[in-house]
């Protein structure tokens, strides 16, 4: 299954979570619920996936963690903030570059409609 198909499924599941919970909760609540829904759908999902940084052939654990990684292909960076900004996009791109992932979704659940808080992020590798 390709990244685009995975992302369509995940967006649908995220909308279900958002419709059930609405805006205003902590990021961790949305992360746990979306993790549950993705896992229940049969897709492989990892939570708080550690992303090491390699510098001059040395592996450094700098505390980078992907919120959710689906099928070892799709990076999900979840937020519950007033508005997404460039720092959130940079964070998502950093995870994608470190792991050599092609596609990511930056999701802000603190909106009335999830589609208004959704940003598709492509890494040109």
- Read off the CATH number of the domain in which 107 is found: 3.40.1350
pTM over 0.85: yes
Range of the structural domain that residue 73 is part of: 3-122
Number of domains making up the chain: 1
Q: What is the pLDDT of residues 90-125, one digit of tens each?
A: 999 999 998 999 999 999 999 999 999 999 999 876
Burial 83-117 (b: 16+ CB within 10 A, else e): ebeeebeebbbebbebbebbbbbbbbbbbeebeeb
In this predicted model, what pLDDT tens digit does every residue of 51-80 receive, in sequence order?
888 778 777 777 789 999 999 999 999 999
Task: Say whether 58 sits in a helix, a strand or coil.
Answer: strand
And the tokens for 53?
């940084």
Instruction: Tell me what the mean pLDDT of segment 2-19 comes to.
Output: 98
Q: How far apart are CA 63 and CA 59, in angstroms?
A: 12
């Amino acid at each position: 299954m390709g990244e685009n198909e995975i992302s369509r499924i995940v967006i649908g599941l995220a909308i279900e979570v958002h419709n059930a919970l609405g805006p205003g909760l902590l990021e961790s609540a949305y992360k746990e619920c979306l993790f549950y829904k993705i896992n229940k759908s049969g897709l492989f999902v990892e939570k708080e996936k550690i992303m090491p940084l390699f510098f001059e052939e040395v592996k450094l654990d700098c505390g980078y963690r992907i919120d959710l990684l689906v099928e070892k292909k799709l990076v999900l960076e979840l937020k519950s903030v007033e508005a997404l900004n460039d720092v959130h996009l940079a964070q998502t791109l950093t995870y994608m570059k470190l792991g050599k992932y092609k596609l990511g979704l930056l999701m802000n659940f603190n909106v009335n409609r999830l589609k208004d808080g959704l940003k598709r992020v492509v890494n040109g590798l």
